[in-house]
Amino acid sequence: MTRIEREKQTVRKMIELYCRHRLKVDTMPEEYQLLAEYACRRLNHCKYGENKSACKDCPIHCYAPKEREAIREVMRWTGPRMIWYAPKDAIIHIFQKIKHRLPSLSFRTGVVVLLCCIPFYILS
């Protein structure tokens, strides 16, 4: 599975969790279905492709203001809870975040962080 496909799956999962637990509805409302489709379209057209960082760290903000605020709200609520509902996705996300920031660290710090992340990489 490519990184973009995994990101799409994670975004959909986050929106579903938000609707089920925060909004207390069994099916995703149309507003949130449209938000999931919009997020997937943005991922398909990402300029950075497989080398992308997290959207919040990206220098180019390709989301429209309304959708950006909606996805931010979903991710703020769902992010801390992902470790309980989707631990594998949460660990992969943390690993990718560390991997993206690794080049900016000193060599010694980078080696230590990399060695700590190897077990998580093997799990993915």
Average pLDDT, the chain: 83
pLDDT category at 74 given cuts 50, 70, 90 is very high
Instruction: Examine the pLDDT at 124 and tell me if it is beyond 60.
Output: no
Read off the pLDDT of residues 105-121 as tens digits, 9 standing for 90 and up: 666 666 676 677 667 66
What is the SS3 string spanning the chain? CCHHHHHHHHHHHHHHHHHHHHCCCCCCCHHHHHHHHHHHHHHHCCCCHHHCCCHHHCCCCCCCHHHHHHHHHHHHHHHHHHHHHCHHHHHHHHHHHHHHHHHHCCHHHHHHHHHHHHHHHHHC
**Entry pTM:** 0.77
